[in-house]
Amino acid sequence: MTNLLGLFSTLMDIIFLLIPLALLLVGIAISSFIWAVNKDQFEDLKGPAHSILLDDDRPEYLSNRTQNSVD
């Protein structure tokens, strides 16, 4: 019976540590999300995805560009 009470006491000590730790992590996650929204991190989600398709990386363009920078 004493071992069972000792185990219960240990579990309660762990819960008293984990609940505030979980609340702290939730608070950090919420504050990070609010910061990202306020800093317009979610403003243009499709622009960067489309800009990679519109990037001009043809070989002749790159060779002309490097020759012009050397001259």
CA atoms 39, 43, 49, 55: torsion sign: negative
How high is the pLDDT of residue 34?
96
DSSP assignment letter at 15: H
- What pLDDT, on the 0 to 100 scale, is given for residue 71? 47
Domain locations along the chain = 2-70
User: How do the pLDDT tens digits run along the chain, 71 residues long?
Assistant: 557 667 667 778 888 899 999 999 999 999 999 999 999 888 877 777 777 777 666 656 556 555 555 54
Residue 63: the pLDDT is 60
